[in-house]
Amino acid sequence: MPERPLHGRGTSTNPPNRYEALHVEPDDPASGDDRTVYYRDASRSILAENDSPDVGFRYSLNPYRGCAHGCSYCYARPTHEYLGFSAGLDFERRIMVKEDAPTLLRQAFVSPRWTPQLVALSGNTDCYQPVERRLGITRRCLEVFVEFRNPVGVVTKSALVARDVDLLRLMRAARFSWVFIGIETTDEASLKETRKTQNVGGDILADVRRLYAHGIDVLAGFIIGFDNDTLATFDRQREFVMAAGIQSAMIGLLQAMPRTPLHERLQKEGRLRPLAGDSDNTVAGTNVMPKSMDYDTMVERFRLLYRELLTDGAIGERIRNKMRHLRQPVYAGGFGIIDSLRIIGRLVRRGVLPGGPSRWAAFLRSLPLLRPTQFPSVVSDWIIGLSMADFARRRLGGSAATRLSARRVAAIRLAMAHYIEAGLARLEVEATPTPSISLELHGPLGRRFFARAARSLDRLLKDTHSTVTLRIQALRGADGRHLERLLHRLRRHGDRVSVDLDERLRSVVSIDSSVFHLMLTGSTESAARACGFGSRMAGASTADESVSVA
């Protein structure tokens, strides 16, 4: 039956959990009890550890699992399936609460094995959800950080954090040097479209400056490509970023990640582009077909936005705009005099001087000669700005990079031509400046095919920032061994290689999922039960006017 939207929710559906064999589908999801249920999370430790070179911290703390904000595009939704829930409505109304988080954090800090280092609050689901106002778990965790003087940063989707004065004082006492806010857009129509209503009705620019006034820097994420967005959205984003002085402004085109309500909706509307499983928002491309813009024009305007924000003059202007309000930064560099001088020397020698007179002028105009405490923040912002400019030139494409990518893709097409004509393989290319390659294998293929594929794909990944997806539908004879040799050659590029493998072939070929992005299709087993999750969650209480955790 047709979907009926639920008031205040990011979706009206509860798709099946991919790890569960049984799924109950009500006749009308909108007619049932829509109250939010909070479950006690009995975790015995609180700090999650990662060793990814792409993540700027080793430890993180998530007081909640699931999120009442319910953004339809949220990357954290699929993680709710690990708990036996759905990535749809369950993600928003079946929320795990780590009530013992402050106690567990204190136990971690008193351990002789703990070395003081940055801990990121959140990183998966938001630590400043509506229920935090009553439970205060994040606030109590901050008090522990203050007690042990351990550095901490916050990742949140809500600008509401800037409107709690007592909290801002506590954050400064905890030596917060930055907060990451998922602003996404300043367009209220787009915020309402995605159910990101926590930022509706406020003055986000004033919120950012309020954080600056308490000495806290702001890093922010932005998204363009919502249904209400037009080419004028790019101008509004640029104007806001410049006025707010946000140097670490991470702007991406909207991506529809699998198993999110956004992906589900766009799939029904026929608006998913090829390589819909790709969700890399660091390239000039997306799997979403925009509603109010031409796709190619949107992508070109996206590249232009980065060029506009990362000129020498724009970097320096943002620093000046920020420092008018960030008068007493918490960030003090953390380096000794000798190391600080070395860092400044490298910045000037390798970053400022090669830029010529225009960069020299922009750099000198941004120096806080009357406020020396701002100097570490200014140096840091110049390093960030110049690094992002270099990244944008390489990642978003330039003429030389585009020509090289085209040559490498042409070599792959030539190597695969015979097999593609015979129907044994299929090649798809998303032709952005950093192409995304999808190679589908039907077999039988033989040793020569895999040798050619390994050689041409290795050169592509080595010389460009392209991504590769191998879709394995069938393997016959010795093709399993040949595929393993191909993957061994590509393992040094493993973070940019995805393998979509039919579940039935899992025992035929060995694939290291710690190196490659492994996706299994056709599985009906309950992975969650096999991992011991299932129904260990007990003691729930619904929350309307009051909140309690049983």
- Domain locations in the chain as residue ranges: 399-515
Mean pLDDT of the chain: 84
In the predicted model, what is the mean pLDDT of residues 387-410? 77
SS (H, E, C) 303-363: HHHHHHHCCHHHHHHHHHHHHCCCCCCCCCCCCCHHHHHHHHHHHHHHHHHHHHHHHHHHH
pLDDT average, residue stretch 317-344: 93
Matching residue, tokens 């491309």: 285
Q: What is the tens place of the pLDDT at every residue in 68-116?
A: 888 888 889 999 999 999 988 899 989 999 999 999 999 999 999 999 9
Tell me what pLDDT residue 541 has: 41
* Per-residue model confidence (pLDDT) at position 346: 95
Res 544: pLDDT: 39
| pLDDT higher than threshold 90 for residue 55 | no
Evaluate whether 443 touches 411 at the Cβ level (below 8 Å).
Answer: no
Distances from the Cα of 14 to the Cα of 86, 261, 263, 265, 549, angstroms: 6, 9, 13, 13, 24
User: Token digits for 297?
Assistant: 């024009």
Label residue 403 by pLDDT band (50, 70, 90).
low
Is the model more confident about 403 or about 138?
A: 138
pTM of the model: 0.68
Contact 445, 454 (CB under 8 A): no
What pLDDT does 518 receive? 87
Confidence of residue 122 (pLDDT cuts 50, 70, 90): confident
CATH number of 399-515: 3.30.750
pLDDT at residue number 542: 39
Position with higher pLDDT, 540 vs 402: 402
Strand 64-65 relative to strand 152-156: parallel, antiparallel, unpaired?
unpaired
With cut-offs at 50, 70 and 90, classify the pLDDT of residue 397.
low
Percentage of the chain with pLDDT > 70?
87
Which pLDDT score is estimated for 31?
57
- Rounded to the nearest angstrom, the gap between the alpha carbon of residue 91 and the centroid of all alpha carbons in its chain is 18
- Residue 522's pLDDT band (boundaries 50, 70, 90)? low
- At residue 258, does pLDDT exceed 90? no
